Amino acid sequence: MNYISTRGGESGLRSAYAIAKGLAKDKGLYTPDRLPELYKSDFQKMASMDYAGRAAYILGMFLDDFTPEELGEYTKKAYSKEKFRRAGEPKKNAPKLDGTAIKKIGDREYILELFHGPTSAFKDMALQILPYLLTASLRKIGEKRTVCILVATSGDTGKAALEGFRDVEGTKIAVFYPEHGVSDVQKLQMATQKGNNVGVCAVDGNFDDAQTGVKRIFSDEKIAEKLDSEEKFLSSANSINWGRLAPQVVYYISAYLDMVSSGDISFGDKINICVPTGNFGNILAAYIAGEMGLPVGRFICASNANNVLTDFINTGVYDRNRQFYKTLSPSMDILISSNVERLLYYMSGSNNSHDCGFVASAMESLNETGKYTLPENMAKSLRERFFAGCCDDEDTKSTIKDVFENEDYLIDTHTAVAVKVYRDYALETGDKTPTVIASTASAFKFSAGVMEALTGKTYENDLDSIDALSEYTGEAVPGPLSGLKNLSVRFKGSVAKDGMKEVLSSLI
């Protein structure tokens, strides 16, 4: 399998190189130049495997410079029962939880719970395995320098990356998060991070500022030279790294197999997939699964008040020149969704030839004017494959309350956005296809918003409302969140948005 840059500047690369480097030299995103195909026999083989086995199988289709033994070992370690389990379940004797779980609500809503990992958000699904893939990639390309992972986070990636990379030999990790753009739980999770190779710093700005700052550091040659003289180099654990995206393709295929085996659908039946979307990584993984052969009707892209993607999909015009809102679903408070670039690559042509020139010029226009427009035929096929909708904080809250009271099921603020947009979609179109809705975080991670939704009372702080939420709902607090208040804070620093470069060396 050949990896290329979406902007056409590099080609003929192997996956280890793409994963080790993170971002292409021309600032494009490394992507397989064509997608592997899933046949019926592949589904049949995977049907009897556990989650780790399915992950090794699918990753093997993308990472063909890794051996099946390597991938088998990494997926077993990453998706172990010790790391992924339901809240309240003891470590020992826990029923097998295959990384994810599915809960059916209503007539045809299948909530795919992706948040049972160590940081209670779906980012663990990729970031538990990325350190294995990355360190192996460095060995494979003969890279001996220390890799310094640089992360901009809207809250959940930061913690999941810190947890995945902590004390991993040959790696260091630095995380920047928007000072006022993450929840108290997210902030404390990062500020209390343990490990000898980790650094965390707040940025006085929003997520886009942090992401832009990180991208600037990546393309700064002076920084690269200085790091090189210290036997170090930078790489990325954001979803611009292909090693983040490939593992996410797995759970959509695995969910389908689980729905077939539970008798909810028959093999070959179509499903829809609805995803609460921010940087467009998670829904792109679903799209890739669909392109590989997973029978998907519609991809439903759910946004909060930051609805740049809703407008993009409905009109074909991407325009980030608009107000930025802070919402109850902060991990989706994003106006520049990086992974749309990979979608443009795949949509600009057929599986045999793609138009990198188009991608490069759209991205240049986005960088210069904050805007680009799709040609009409592309805009049309985008609308055919995707449905897009958005939902404000009031609707987010009423959806949480409705699902809790009518389905006896607790969802977080991000998942609620997806449920609401899916229900709007079902009403508008009358489509009765069973729909997988990605549930991206535990409700306890965003407990203030969830408690407000359930009780109508305002809670200042997520930390104080965790116990209240547990009492109100009778549900156990996930292990990783229950002891959080008692951990000691290690990282208190914060910088102006143009000062990120200066603090980098102290972090790594």
Ligand X SMILES: *Cc1c(COP(=O)(O)O)cnc(C)c1O
Q: Which amino acid is at 175?
A: V
Q: SS3 for 10?
A: coil
- Our finding on whether 302 is near ligand X (CB under 6 A) is no
What's the rounded Cα separation, in Å, for the pair 413 and 182?
A: 13
115-154 footprint of ligand X as x/- string (CB under 6 A): ------x-x-------------------------------
- Our finding on whether 239 is near ligand X (CB under 6 A) is yes
The nearer residue to ligand X, 13 or 301, going by C-beta atoms, is: 301
Q: Residue 34: which of 250, 291, 249, 252 has the closest Cα?
A: 291
Minimum CB–partner distance for residue 15 and ligand X (Å): 20
The nearer residue to ligand X, 15 or 338, going by C-beta atoms, is: 338
The per-residue DSSP string of 331-358 comes to GG--S--TTHHHHHHHHSB-SS-B-HHH
The site for ligand X, by CB under 6 A, has a size of: 16
Minimum CB–partner distance for residue 117 and ligand X (Å): 12
- Our finding on whether 279 is near ligand X (CB under 6 A) is yes
- Our finding on whether 420 is near ligand X (CB under 6 A) is no
Question: Residue 418 in contact with residue 274, Cβ under 8 Å?
Answer: yes
Using CB under 6 A, pick the residue from 27, 85, 215, 414 that binds ligand X.
414
| Near ligand X in 205-224, by CB under 6 A | none
Minimum CB–partner distance for residue 465 and ligand X (Å): 17
479-508 footprint of ligand X as x/- string (CB under 6 A): ------------------------------
Which residues, 6+ apart, have CB-to-CB distance to 131 below 8 Å?
Answer: 164, 165, 168, 171
- Our finding on whether 280 is near ligand X (CB under 6 A) is yes
Minimum CB–partner distance for residue 123 and ligand X (Å): 6
Minimum CB–partner distance for residue 137 and ligand X (Å): 21
Distance in angstroms between the alpha carbons of the first and the last residue of the chain: 33
Q: Residue 301: which of 415, 422, 423 has the closest Cα?
A: 422
Buried b (16+ CB within 10 A) or exposed e, 3-20: bbbbbbebeebbbbbbbb
Using CB under 6 A, pick the residue from 331, 348, 447, 465 that binds ligand X.
331
Using CB under 6 A, pick the residue from 247, 278, 290, 478 that binds ligand X.
278
Buried b (16+ CB within 10 A) or exposed e, 438-447: bbbbbbbbbb
User: Which parts of this chain interact with ligand X (CB under 6 A)?
Assistant: 121, 123, 156, 239, 276-282, 331-332, 414, 440-441
